[in-house]
Structure formats: structure tokens, C-alpha cells
Structure 1
Amino acid sequence: MSDQSDVTGAAVVTPVRVVIALCLVAPFVAMLWVGSYAKTDPAFIGIPFFYWYQMLWVLISTALTMIAYKLWQRDQRARTARTARTARTARKGGASE
């Protein structure tokens, strides 16, 4: 019987998936670390730092989530193609034996 570890969908940690995780975790860390932005200065067009920093993270979070999604799609396409190649190779190898 051939090795089915990649075909079964077992979780694999790859550099791309680490980047995806960092993109998704960064906004949480930034918002939960309140001490880093619990101040009024520097003000931006009259808006205290506390408020504009949080609103800036709304935009940053959107961008990071979009990047994570695009990386995930690319990773899944590559994994599907790799699985299909492995299955074809296994069928060819199994037929010749």
C-alpha cells in the first residue's frame, strides 16, 4: 500500500502557512496590547492617537486578511496539483507492477 499522508489532508506546516498565520494574528496582538496606544498624542487632524490608531488597524487588518486569503488560495491550488500528480504517479507505478 502506498503512503497516503499527503492525500489524506494531514496538516502540514509550511513557510507560507506561517506567513498566513502571522497576517491573521498581527491585528489581534496590536489591538490587545492596549498599553501601546492608550495615549492622546500624537494627534492626527485633531483626532487623538487612541482613535486614529484603531481606525488605521481596520485598514491594515483588511489588507492582511486579503493577503492571507490570496496566499491560502495559492497554497491550496499547489497542494491539489501536488496531490493529483502523486495520485497519477501512484496509478502509473501500480499499473506497471
Structure 2
Amino acid sequence: MSSWARIGAKCMCIAENGSWVPVGHSDRPAPDFPAFGDVFVIAEVLERPSGVFLGFAEFAEASFSIRCFAPVVEQPNDVALFTHHLDLAGEMA
């Protein structure tokens, strides 16, 4: 299982087309399922013989292949990360 795939982690849909179908549903395209760029919080991680699948609160009856998602890495919003740029402001390059 991927190290980032855990309950409570944020992930983003990276599926190129919105026509893929989650496990347990018909073979028709599913426009009301995650689309490219949508961000979700993982509610369930399922390991099956066919791979790892993620469940989300927004889609209670469905699970989706982990291959369609990537982890969201949040950067701290701290000005201290940029102060070294300010320290060099008056110096000649």
C-alpha cells in the first residue's frame, strides 16, 4: 500500500477523463464522480486482490482506484520560510 494512502489524508484526482467508473457500479460513465483536480479527504482504504482503492465521504457507496489520485502536500504558510530573501535585499549580487 502507498505510504500516503491513509484515513484523513488529502488527495487530488488525477484521472485524465471523467469517464472512469468506481468499483461496484455499472459500466456507464459517471459524471458525478471525482473529476480532475478535485480534492478529497480519504475516509477508507481498501486492499483488494485487484489493487488499493480509496473511499470518500462524498461517495459513500463507491471506492476508487488509488491510481486515479495523488497525495496533496500542504506547505506551511510561514513568513519565516522567506526571511532569508529579505536578509539579502540590500547586498550586491
TM-score range, shorter chain: under 0.3
Higher helix share: 1
Higher strand share: 2
Larger radius of gyration: 1
With the length of structure 2 as denominator, give the TM-score of the two structures: 0.26
